[in-house]
Amino acid sequence: MRILKNFTIRRVMLWVVSLLCIFWGGVSFYGVYALNKLGADHHMDRQLVAQMATLNQGNDQYFRFITRLYRVVSLREAGQMPGADSINAAQHALDAMVEQLNQFKNRSTAAQNTPLTQAVIVRWERLLNDGILPQMRYAQQADLNAYHRQANEVTPVLSREFGAEIEKFNQATSLALDNTRRDVDKRIHLTQAVLVIAVGIGILMLIFSDRYLVTMLVRPLDKIRYQLTLITQGDLSQTMDEFGRNCLGRLVPLLCSMQQSLLEAVGTIRQASDGIHHDAARISSGNQNLSSRTEQQASALEQTAASMEQLTATVKCNADNARQASELADTASATASKGGQLVQEVVVTMEGIAGSAHKIADITNVINSIAFQTNILALNAAVEAARAGEQGRGFAVVASEVRNLAQRSASAAKEIDALIADSVTRVDKGNRLVNDAGAVMQEMLTAVSAVNDIMKHIAAASEQQSKGISQVGLAVNEMDQVTQQNASLVAEMASAANALEQQTINLAQSVAHFRFTSEESSSAALPTVDGPLEPSLARQSASGTNEWVAF
């Protein structure tokens, strides 16, 4: 076993497993070989037994055929006509004999006694072809003489020869079966011996493997487990002895190196835990101050958010008023547009009236011209009546009345002309006034459109301003939420710092549990925080508070 300490467990186990695999592989190969031989012998036995059974059945069918055919011939000799059943029974026995012959031929290929088998087949075929079939044909043809000659002289000789071959075949087959059984018994006993030896060798290998594993694996692992138990208990002063260069032997230097590294690490951790404890206490105090300033910042942001909400409401109200003013400006613009259209219609109507007045003036001029011409005709008529004397006096009176009517028509035409002239003057003045009113309405429409555009711009700017202030309000709200979250995070940081401080205390206590030497059993004193916070941190707190108040 001492020599095996310098070999790896893997190599030794590979040797053991390889030898076991080789040994059991040989045993398995021999077992497979023996089973194959037993299978082949068993198959040969079955073939020989089947051949013997087939041969015996064929011989039985021969005697059945002879007996049934003899009955048919006896009935013919007695002068009776044999029935179809009797002939069919003989034919059935003949067919069964032929079938058994074919089966015997098919099974003869796997038999070992091939010459005997071929001799049996030859004798069987001669009996069938030269003896039975002619005898069956003579019986069917009712040729009794030929039948008796065949049955007494030819068929018995062939039958005796066939029987002799059957006897030889059965003897050879029985001898072959006996030899096969003896061989099978020998192989069985040899296989049993090989299996017993294999089991014994396997048990020895198992015992060797168990002892080897106990010596090279279990006991070293117990020592390593004991050493690790001491380390877990904080005792780093104990060392381990080496045991070989196998797998576990190579593990011992690593374990010793790990123990030494642990000694150094624990010493370093003991020194660092003091500093960490001191710094954690300072961080905890700083986080408390930061939490206070964050709460003040959150309060200021809340006030700012409230102011932004009020400003947002005011701007939204202004935007609504601007929108309503824009709608009223749209209404005024539409009304002014309608007024401008009405003024245009009045201008068109006044122009039509002026045109009609001018037409009436033209008609009046025509009437005045007719009155003037009528007056001239009346004067000419008076002159002619005066020339006629007494005879033209009545015509003179008529001419005088016509002249008076013409003068009155001229006078009325002048008055109408004067009135029409005055009307035309007034219509022209009204047309000018209406045109001026249309121009004023157009200017009003332009001004109202400009006012409408300005109001729309104001409404759009107010709406954008409202949206911008709403976004600012949302941003302030988000800042408020973030500040609240920061405040909660600062609180968590303060809690974490307190937990870190407690963890450093626990770490120092845990490190104090380890013993570096067999005489040492020390526990490190926990550090305490002395001294105020850094002045810069306090100044930052004060300045931050003032800035938020100013905001």
pLDDT at 535: 38
Predicted confidence (pLDDT) per residue in 214-241, tens digit: 777 677 777 778 777 877 777 766 776 6
pLDDT at 517: 59
Token pair of 56 as six digits: 């015996």
pLDDT at 471: 78
Task: Give the C-alpha separation, 143 to 535, whole Å.
Answer: 150
Q: Per-domain residue ranges for the chain? A: 3-227, 251-550
Return the amino acid letter for 5.
Answer: K
Check: CB of residue 132 under 8 Å from CB of residue 62.
yes
Superfamily for the 251-550 domain: Methyl-accepting chemotaxis protein (1.10.287.950)
pLDDT at 247: 65
**Would you say the CATH fold of 251-550 matches that of 3-227?**
no
pLDDT at 470: 74
pLDDT at 538: 37
Predicted confidence (pLDDT) per residue in 346-369, tens digit: 777 777 777 777 777 778 788 878
Check: CB of residue 354 under 8 Å from CB of residue 432.
no
At the second CATH level, the architecture of 3-227 is: Up-down Bundle (1.20)
Check: CB of residue 477 under 8 Å from CB of residue 305.
yes
Counting every residue, how long is the chain?
551
Task: Give the C-alpha separation, 394 to 385, whole Å.
Answer: 8
pLDDT beneath 70: ranges in the chain = 1-9, 40-45, 79, 82-83, 107-113, 217, 236-237, 240-251, 259, 284, 301, 322, 329, 336, 343, 392, 395, 441, 448, 451, 476, 508-551
Tell me how far CA of residue 90 lies from CA of 5, 40, 84, 435, 509, in angstroms.
90, 40, 10, 149, 114
pLDDT at 523: 43
pLDDT at 524: 41
Only one residue has tokens 């624990």, namely 266
